[in-house]
Chains A and B, each alone.
Chain A
């Protein structure tokens, strides 16, 4: 009875005694046979898919993201990611000077929007000058606030690992686009800021670099 109660309590506040086995869309987290250097937390592999615009169902959630009132049409790869608490879509425009994205979570949102968060980033010679933090609009079912940001991985990086509370989320680099990551810890809504503890790794898990990204809402 006591051990059952403990298990029930453990998940309520968003922390995890063990790595979550399922992602936000209730799909099982795929097994990951990579040991990440200098990562002590249990890891959860997020899912990633790369589509092109003609493959997207207009009636789907991804379709709803692409059909928002953007100032340009998507061009090139559309990267769709699903994590434990958040999911995202990332795409570029035709001129390759703009990076666009939608962020989402399981929590309530205003006006029944398909996506609770939205983001744009200007690209300068193909690169962002800012991680384009989105914070405050998306929450977990338990009410925790999510922060989302783009990571531009170093050359040779295959995996971006982001520490969460009790585990680490693993994002596979895909589509040649910055990696949209999420965090439920390190979010400070009062100052519109979030901190992400990030490590970048090669395909075999070798550490390329490790850092804390402190992002602020801007622009």
Chain B
């Protein structure tokens, strides 16, 4: 009988410890502890290499639905958050939030000028992948996929990634905030040949 009671006690204890652990993983405090709402710095020009440098600082960082805040420690500081839950407050942008910051855009859609956002500034911006695909907003325009170069984007209804480099075989190295299981990084993709993707370009590059 005592063995049965011991088993029940252990089972109950294990259950609550497991639940507590799961809750800690789901509700990180990355945004609350690290991110800010500082104003962006207006800048008079942007270059593709400059934006690539901005993008590379997000490489190896996390992914957060509706997110837009990351550090540069080459680590996903909040892995395995439930997908599509903005309340988990984890590290990273989602695909459109990442693009918004790399492209140095304004939260005002009619404003095509350039704004440098800090890495730890938590901002997503008004655009979704679908709206980027349609070229919504003054800074964004649709372009033929054949014309895409570094730091242009390929966007579908549900995802957007930036061209980092083009491979000799015609595939692209895409830098993107891919998902909770992947974080933000560079992968070879065939988005350019996928009919569900369209070409998008940020207006106003100096070089």
Contacts and interface: CB of A to CB of B under 8 A. Distances in A.
A66 to B, nearest CB: 14
Interface of A: 68-71, 98, 100, 110, 117-120, 122, 129-130, 132, 134-137, 189-192, 216-219
B108 interface: yes
A192 B126 contact: yes
B181 to A, nearest CB: 15
Closest 10 CB pairs of A and B: A218-B66, A136-B126, A120-B157, A129-B84, A120-B130, A71-B196, A216-B66, A216-B86, A130-B84, A192-B126
Interface in B58-82: 65-66
Interface string B175-191: 00000000000000000
Contacts of A129: 83-84
Interface of B: 65-66, 83-84, 86, 94-97, 107-110, 123-131, 133-134, 136-138, 156-158, 195-196, 198
A217 B136 contact: no
16 contacts: A100-B157, A110-B109, A110-B136, A110-B137, A118-B131, A120-B128, A120-B157, A120-B158, A136-B109, A137-B126, A137-B131, A217-B126, A218-B66, A218-B96, A219-B94, A219-B128
A110 B110 CA distance: 8
Contact of B126 (A71, A98, A135): A135
Contacts, number: 86
Given A110-B110, A130-B65, A192 B84 contact: no
A69 B84 contact: no
Given A110-B110, A218-B96, A219-B95, A137 B136 contact: yes
A118 B96 CA distance: 15
Contacts of B126: 135-137, 189, 192, 217
B139 to A, nearest CB: 11
A218 B95 CA distance: 8
Q: Is the interface of B mostly helix, strand, loop or mixed?
A: loop
Nearest to B133: A69
Contact of A189 (B86, B108, B134): B108
A71 B128 CA distance: 15
Contacts of A120: 128-130, 157-158
B83 to A, nearest CB: 7
A107 B51 CA distance: 33
B67 to A, nearest CB: 8
B124 A192 contact: yes
Contacts of A216: 66, 86, 124
